[in-house]
Amino acid sequence: MNPLAIPEIVIRRLPLYLRTLNLLVDDGQTVTSSQELGDRLGISSTQIRKDLSYFGEFGKQGTGYDIRYLRDQLRQILQVDRHWNLVLIGAGDLGRAVLRYSGFEEGGFSIVAVLDKDERKIGRQIGKLKVLAIARLPEVIKEYGTQIAIIAVPASDAQEVANALVRAGVKAILTYAPITLSLPANVCVEYIDPVIGLQSMAYSLSPGHA
Amino acid sequence: MNPLAIPEIVIRRLPLYLRTLNLLVDDGQTVTSSQELGDRLGISSTQIRKDLSYFGEFGKQGTGYDIRYLRDQLRQILQVDRHWNLVLIGAGDLGRAVLRYSGFEEGGFSIVAVLDKDERKIGRQIGKLKVLAIARLPEVIKEYGTQIAIIAVPASDAQEVANALVRAGVKAILTYAPITLSLPANVCVEYIDPVIGLQSMAYSLSPGHA
DNA sequence: TAGATTGTTAATCGATTAACAATC
DNA sequence: TAGATTGTTAATCGATTAACAATC
């Protein structure tokens, strides 16, 4: 089966399955079903089975799925059965919140450096990391073999930062800046913009909708 | 035209169009085209015209769209031509970053109160707001006519907070907690979980993909 | 065995896009 | 007018789901 044939939308659901399996493990449960996973996620059981079938057969008829086994398989598929070294650009409020969020580590990602262009922030300690000058980006990327970066700078600086990241060899970017980045086709990008979600909910809240 | 017939996915793109129009206004531009908008967003011009056509005719053949006019129309459609009063639950690092982010205000949302259950945080000043006890949720919601809330508490507390919000009459929730919430069907929810995006990029970065 | 649940096919459903008439 | 761009239709494309054989 050609992995290139797997729809992007399927890939984007796998982390949700993984997250739910982790919660079930924490609950001490050992076996689950596509029905239970679907109920937890608001997704149909058929869709979950179909999604998993792109990658193999992980369940037992009549029984369901061994939670730890399926979790480990999904980790392998998503390549988060190891840790990725991330760099974070931007040491403002958002950058600090990102640094202190434990979910990255649990999800298979370690932030190994934080960089900023603001002279006043450089040298400051945030958790275990000291803020580095943005000029040191290339050496940091090289030292840690980093392929993924997080952008937490204002929108006005984001494209410039993205360009620097691409020049330094970064292959994937998660950005909090509310602006669409221009990037080479071979660089992945994910956008986090809470306002998009709020505005689409505002539409639904207006009288006459939903 | 029945507004209920408009696909959710179309609604979710309108904020992107609005965001781009705002950037173009900032650049001093007065007219744009579906082509230009599409180039900026990585969306086809046909799709943009099709999306807009659900709501009316906003352009001129041969010329394109008046940026301010289209922006104002989109604001009306999305109901962000006014401000919504939001409450924020959670005054940790993430809550503080949310409070200091100016994008909400620019997008049509004002955070009017921040609440936390941690005694040590209650009474602390964050920007213009003083952290309130979670017990005061109902009165705050009532006072400000709030319909939308932001959850910035740990995953383990998120469902409980969501329940309290629903009881208090909140109709839409933006949550940063990495857990799928159980909510009545008439309550909107948007999830922000950066790890989902990172994990799907990790898949794409593995040798043989992308 | 009977009941439950998987993996998969084929049908349905919905979203995107190509093409183009209308018209500024 | 000629060129550009919209709004819209119909065709294409892709994703979801219903149904069910397989089997634990």
Q: Which residue among A28, A54, A78 closes a domain?
A: A78
CB pair distance less than 8 Å for B79 and A202 = yes
Q: Reply yes or no on whether the pLDDT at A209 is more than 90.
A: no
Q: Reply yes or no on whether the pLDDT at A122 is more than 90.
A: yes
- A18 with A104, same domain: the answer is no
Residue among A178, A54, A121 nearest B104 (CA): A178
The answer to whether position B205 is within a domain reads no
Q: Reply yes or no on whether the pLDDT at A20 is more than 60.
A: yes
Convert the pLDDT of each residue in B141-185 to its tens digit: 999 999 999 999 999 999 999 999 999 999 999 999 999 999 999
d(CA B196, CA B152): 17
- A9 with A98, same domain: the answer is no
- A89 with A64, same domain: the answer is no
Q: Which residue among A58, A78, A98 closes a domain?
A: A78
Q: Which residue among B40, B57, B78 closes a domain?
A: B78
Report residue B93 as tokens: 């690092």
Residue among B141, B136, B137, B116 nearest B126 (CA): B116
- B146 with B92, same domain: the answer is yes
Name residues whose C-beta falls within 8 Å of residue A29's C-beta, 6 or more positions apart in sequence.
A67
Residues 4-23 of A with CB under 7 A from strand D: 7-10
- B35 with B94, same domain: the answer is no
C-alpha count within 13 angstroms, C-beta hemisphere, residue B88: 25
The pLDDT-based confidence of B210 (bands split at 50, 70, 90) is: low
- B185 with B159, same domain: the answer is yes
Domain that holds residue A45: 3-78
| CATH code of the domain containing A68 | 1.10.10.10
- B101 with B130, same domain: the answer is yes
| CATH code of the domain containing A132 | 3.40.50.720
Residue among B117, B107, B158 nearest B137 (CA): B117
> Residue closest to C8, CA→C1'?
A50
The answer to whether position A204 is within a domain reads no
φ/ψ of residue A190, rounded to 5 = -130, 135
d(CA A183, CA A165): 10
Tell me how crowded residue A195 is: count the other CB atoms within 10 A of its CB.
Answer: 22
The answer to whether position B67 is within a domain reads yes
- A134 with A71, same domain: the answer is no
Residues 177-196 of A with CB under 8 A from B: 178-180, 186, 188, 190-196
| Average of per-residue pLDDT across B105-127 | 97
Nearest CA-CA distance, residue B98 and chain A, Å: 8
Please give the nucleotide, over all strands, whose C1' is closest to the CA of residue A13: D15
What is the DSSP code string of B63-85?
TEEEHHHHHHHHHHHHT-SS-EE
Number of structural domains in chain A: 2
Convert the pLDDT of each residue in B76-88 to its tens digit: 999 999 999 999 9
**Candidate from A15, A179, A197 with C-beta closest to B174:** A197
The answer to whether position A165 is within a domain reads yes
Compute the mean pLDDT over every residue in chain B, rounded to the nearest whole number.
96
Whole-structure pTM value? 0.95
pLDDT of residue A60: 97
